[in-house]
Amino acid sequence: DRNADSEGVVVIGLGRFGSHLAESLNALGHEVLAIDDNPQQVQKWSAQLAQVAQADSTNGEALRQLGVADLSRVVVAIGASVEASVLTVLALVELGVPQIWARATTTQHAKILEAVGAQHVIFPEAETGERLAHLIVSRMLDFVEFEGAFAIAKMRVPQPLVGRAISEAWLLNRHGVRVVGVKRATEDRFHYVSEGLELCPDDIIIVEGPIEQVQRFSTLT
């Protein structure tokens, strides 16, 4: 059995997005095989990444020769050329790669990638834009949402809660959210809140709940 966690990851397309991804995977301790058809990109990234190959990723045979078929996770990070992105995903499907992550740049592009057989379609511009919208209009410091319904957010303590002891039942009942973590001004990491903890003005908290409620909670005055 292949152990997916310790195995390498293939990143195809070393543009802005792909190169950041490859660097992050590398920093997390994963072996990265990076592929790009542009000799200048290959040259540029060879110094930073252990394995960089020059190849046209729409060519299945070229991918096979690089050993891509033996790795279980491949990310297609090509954005600008929809044709190259789709043909690459198709070549990977034909090679039998089990986990194909593909980057879409438009909604139509995303639909095609799904139809062709990519298991995970990522849409960084849309996802970042949505997330940023929440961060800009609310007082949240960080925000993750799941299936457009549930969220976990980092925020300052809303004014009305300063000096109040946290009661989980009261919070759920009154605001529909749960405070799961707190970081005091003097601390450098979050810890779980215990029932009855009193919140201070400079505390940063982690709140979870349905998106609307988390959003409303963050803007309480």
Q: How far is the CB of 142 from ligand ADP (least distance, A)?
A: 24
- Residue 144's DSSP bridge partners are 152
Beta pairing, strands 32-36 & 150-156: unpaired
Q: Can you read off the two tokens belonging to residue 105?
A: 């740049």
Complex with ligand ADP: residue 81 or 167, whichever CB lies closer: 81
Strand partners, 36: 54
Give the tokens for residue 18.
Answer: 């792909």
Q: What's the N-to-C CA distance of the chain in angstroms?
A: 55
Q: Which is nearer to ligand ADP, 14 or 100 (CB)?
A: 14
Smallest distance from ligand ADP to CB 52, Å: 11
Q: Which is nearer to ligand ADP, 10 or 151 (CB)?
A: 10
**Which spans of this chain sit near ligand ADP (rule: CB under 6 A)?**
12-18, 35-38, 41, 56-58, 78-81, 84
State the nearest-atom distance from the C-beta of 170 to ligand ADP, in Å: 47
Q: How far is the CB of 178 from ligand ADP (least distance, A)?
A: 37
SS3 label, residue 116: helix
Residue closer to ligand ADP, measured from CB, 93 or 197: 93
What's the DSSP call for residue 55? Answer: -
Measured CA to CA in angstroms, residue 170 lies from 167, 178, 196 at distances of 5, 10, 11
